[in-house]
Chain A
Amino acid sequence: MTNVEFSILLLAMALAAYGCRVAGFLAMRYVTITPRLEAALRATPLSVMAGIVAVAAMRGGPAEWIASVAVLILAKLTGQDVLAALFGVAVIALARWVGL
Chain B
Amino acid sequence: MSEAVTFTRAGFGRGFRRGNAFALGVFAYGLAFGLVADQAGFTPFQAFLFSVVVYSGSAQMATLSVLAAGTSLTASILWSVVALILVINARYVLFGATLRPWLGQVSPLKAYSTLYILGDGNWLMSLSAYENGERDAGFVLGSGLGPCLAWLVGTLSGSMVGGYAPNPKVLGLDFMLIAFSAAMMVGMFRQKSDWGVIAVAVPAALGVAWLGSPAWAPVIAGIAGGAFAWLRFTEERAA
Residues of A whose CB lies within 8 Å of any CB of B are 1-2, 5-6, 8-10, 12-29, 31, 33, 35-56, 58-59, 64, 67-68, 71-72, 74-76, 79, 81-82, 84-86, 88-93, 96-97
State which residues 72-126 of B face A: CB under 8 Å: 72-73, 78, 81-82, 85-86, 89-101, 103-104, 111-112, 115-116, 118, 123-124
User: Is chain B's binding surface mostly helix, strand, loop or mixed?
Assistant: helix
User: Is the beta-carbon distance between A52 and B72 smaller than 8 angstroms?
Assistant: no
User: Is chain A's binding surface mostly helix, strand, loop or mixed?
Assistant: helix
A90 and B172 in contact, given A16-B82, A52-B181 (Cβ under 8 angstroms): yes
- Within the complex, the shortest CB–CB distance from B71 to chain A, in Å, comes to 7
With an 8 Å Cβ cutoff, the count of chain B residues facing the other chain is 98
State which residues 213-239 of B face A: CB under 8 Å: 214, 217-218, 220-230, 232-234
Partner of B18, one of A17, A47, A53, A82: A82
- Within the complex, the shortest CB–CB distance from A61 to chain B, in Å, comes to 12
Residues of B whose CB lies within 8 Å of any CB of A are 1, 18, 21, 25, 46, 49-50, 53-56, 59, 63, 67-73, 78, 81-82, 85-86, 89-101, 103-104, 111-112, 115-116, 118, 123-124, 127-128, 131, 169-173, 175-189, 194, 197-198, 200-202, 204-206, 209-210, 214, 217-218, 220-230, 232-234
- Excluding A20-B86, A45-B98, A47-B222, 12 further A-B contacts by CB distance (< 8 Å) are A9-B81, A13-B63, A16-B86, A21-B116, A43-B225, A44-B225, A48-B221, A54-B201, A59-B209, A71-B183, A81-B183, A89-B25
User: Is the beta-carbon distance between B82 and A12 smaller than 8 angstroms?
Assistant: yes
User: Is the beta-carbon distance between A82 and B21 smaller than 8 angstroms?
Assistant: yes
Residues of chain A contacted by B210 (CB below 8 angstroms): 58
Residues of chain B contacted by A33 (CB below 8 angstroms): 1, 100-101
